[in-house]
Amino acid sequence: KRIVVLLSGNGSNLQAMIDACESGIINNAGVVAVLSNKADAYGLERARLAGIDALHLSAEHYPDRDAFDQAMAEQIDRYQPDLVVLAGFMRILSAEFVRHYQGRMINVHPSLLPKYPGLNTHQRAIDAGDNEHGTSVHFVTEELDGGPVILQAKVPIFSDDSADDVKDRVQQQEHRIYPLVANWCLSQRVVMEGNRARLDGNDL
């Protein structure tokens, strides 16, 4: 099975996917391409180091979002992916792009959705006085960070935590649960039906 990863930055979740394919946590699959909208994303370097095609497309070279997303889809579809994994891809996706990959595109968002969609989730959780926080893996739909949640992991927030402390704790959990969900998707254990995620035939 083939996974294509989209990212804009560090790529620690990409690394977790690559490692999980090697260790067998993800069965019979590999990351076949990594696409970044940022030329300097360290995730591209991680791809190259692993011998994976590393692609860069810059939105500035396209007249509008639809044109850029269409160019991305053309690159992605050359690899005939079974699963498209968003791993810190920091751009809004057009409705058409999302529809094209509906049910086979997942994202990891650093909050316990539906809490804190959008940016700065760790600081927002601290500012709200929350004592727990976490991460959510969900199918991507047209609603930003609003698609059906597949799996979440919780972490504590301690009173002296900085946003970076919380982020590190959250990312450790992301690296654990994101590959698990990718494996479920690739083996069809989890599917999207309508606007619901179903695991082994049960609504989540």
Query: Is residue 70 part of the contact set for ligand GRF (CB under 6 A)?
Result: no
- Least distance between ligand GRF and beta carbon 121 (Å): 8
As a whole number of angstroms, the distance between CA 53 and CA 35 comes to: 8
Q: Is 7 annotated as a binding residue?
A: no
Site string for ligand GRF, 75-94 (x = CB under 6 A): ------------xx------
Look at residue 69 and give its three-state secondary structure: helix
- 133 catalytic? Reply is no
Which residue is closest to ligand GRF by CB? 88
Strands 53-56, 30-36: pairing is parallel
Q: Which residue has the tokens 């930055």?
A: 9
Backbone angles phi, psi at 57, to 5 degrees: -125, 130
- By the 8 A CB rule, do 111 and 117 touch? yes
Q: Is 10 annotated as a binding residue?
A: no
What is the number of other CB atoms lying within 10 angstroms of the CB of residue 29? 21
Number of H helices, E strands in the chain: 6, 10
Q: Is 199 annotated as a binding residue?
A: no
Whichever of 11 and 148 has its CB closer to ligand GRF, that residue is 11
Which neighbouring-strand residues pair with 149? 138
Site string for ligand GRF, 112-151 (x = CB under 6 A): -----------------------x----------------
- Least distance between ligand GRF and beta carbon 157 (Å): 16
| Site for ligand GRF, rule CB under 6 A | 7, 9-13, 87-88, 108-110, 135, 171, 174
Active site residues: 109
